[in-house]
């Protein structure tokens, strides 16, 4: 029986996903600055404010990256070019988006953020955005997690194969999968002699559990019980 084990919980890292891998939409109703420009900078595919925008090389149509390159599709929503070849947006478009638009966080955390701060907010500040966490001990990934309260992460704390746990007897750390074997043989664990019922440590220098002493103590115990 393993008792009083002090677990050292694994730590977790947030994997920095690119903005194009987040699936969300910035509605017109959430715009708090730049409303007059919305019709010029909204995606004609999802009708939301452009997110991670791209421009079709053929028709120069603006759209969200996710709206064209989701589910292995790459068709221009406007000219129907297939595959759709894209280019980076112009500096004017980029500066307009960054400098004029503010909106409520698309994950309903109620924060009002600037367009240029969108990625930073989602990855590091927003408490409601879905992130990818990775266990630093075994590198297992947990996608679409809001925070470390995710039940999958809590459960992983107990089953991570690389989790280090301190032996309650010798206080040395062992991987979870090898701890039980160590505890069974740990020299710092108290053992009880079946004959004389004395508990002792095999590594102890102060007590020598010799056969002669064992016979003496067991004899005394038998006399007491008579």
Given a cut of 60, whether residue 2 has pLDDT beyond it is no
**How high is the pLDDT of residue 92?**
94
Q: Where in the chain is the domain with CATH 3.30.40.10?
A: 23-125
**How high is the pLDDT of residue 127?**
80
Strands 102-104 and 131-135: unpaired
**How high is the pLDDT of residue 1?**
35
Residue 147 corresponds to which tokens in the numbers above? 């925070």
On the 0-12 / 13-18 / 19+ scale of CB atoms within 10 A, 73 is exposed
Q: How far is CA 119 from CA 16, 52, 194, in A?
A: 10, 10, 66
Residue 30 corresponds to which tokens in the numbers above? 């959430």
For 14-48, b/e burial (b = at least 16 CB within 10 A) is eeeeeeeebebebeeebbeebeeebeebbbebbeb
Q: How many whole angstroms separate alpha carbon 98 and alpha carbon 115?
A: 5
pTM (two decimals): 0.57
Confidence of residue 197 (pLDDT cuts 50, 70, 90): low
CA dihedral (162, 164, 167, 170) positive or negative = positive
More confident residue, 122 or 175: 122
Q: How many whole angstroms separate alpha carbon 10 and alpha carbon 134?
A: 10
**In DSSP terms, which residues pair with 146 in a beta bridge?**
none
Domain 23-125 has CATH 3.30.40.10: yes
On the 0-12 / 13-18 / 19+ scale of CB atoms within 10 A, 11 is exposed
Chain center to CA of 8? 16
Q: How far apart are the first and last CA of the chain?
A: 33
Q: How many whole angstroms separate alpha carbon 50 and alpha carbon 46?
A: 9
Residue 7 corresponds to which tokens in the numbers above? 């677990």
- Per residue in 38-96, pLDDT (tens digit) is 999 999 888 999 998 999 999 999 998 888 876 556 888 889 888 888 888 999 999 99
- Per residue in 141-157, pLDDT (tens digit) is 888 777 777 888 888 88
Residue 212 corresponds to which tokens in the numbers above? 């002669």
Confidence of residue 32 (pLDDT cuts 50, 70, 90): very high
**How high is the pLDDT of residue 208?**
58
**How high is the pLDDT of residue 4?**
41
């Amino acid at each position: 029986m393993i008792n009083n084990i002090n677990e050292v919980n694994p730590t977790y890292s947030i994997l920095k996903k690119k903005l194009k891998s987040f699936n969300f939409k910035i509605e017109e109703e959430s715009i708090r600055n730049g409303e007059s420009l919305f019709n010029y900078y909204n995606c004609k595919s999802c009708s939301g404010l452009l997110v991670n925008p791209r421009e079709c090389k053929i028709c120069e149509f603006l759209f969200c990256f996710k709206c064209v390159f989701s589910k292995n599709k790459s068709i221009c929503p406007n000219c129907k070019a297939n595959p759709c070849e894209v280019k980076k947006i112009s500096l004017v478009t980029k500066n307009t988006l960054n400098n004029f638009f503010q909106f409520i966080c698309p994950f309903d955390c109620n924060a009002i953020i600037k367009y240029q701060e969108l990625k930073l907010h989602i990855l590091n500040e927003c408490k409601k955005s879905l992130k990818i966490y990775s266990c630093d001990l075994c590198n297992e990934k947990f996608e679409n997690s809001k925070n470390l309260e995710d039940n999958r992460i809590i459960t992983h704390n107990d089953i991570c194969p690389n989790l280090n746990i301190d032996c309650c007897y010798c206080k040395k750390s062992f991987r979870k999968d090898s701890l039980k074997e160590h505890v069974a043989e740990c020299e710092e664990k108290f053992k009880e002699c079946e004959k004389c019922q004395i508990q002792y440590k095999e590594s102890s220098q102060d007590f020598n559990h010799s056969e002669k002493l064992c016979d003496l103590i067991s004899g005394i115990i038998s006399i007491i019980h008579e």
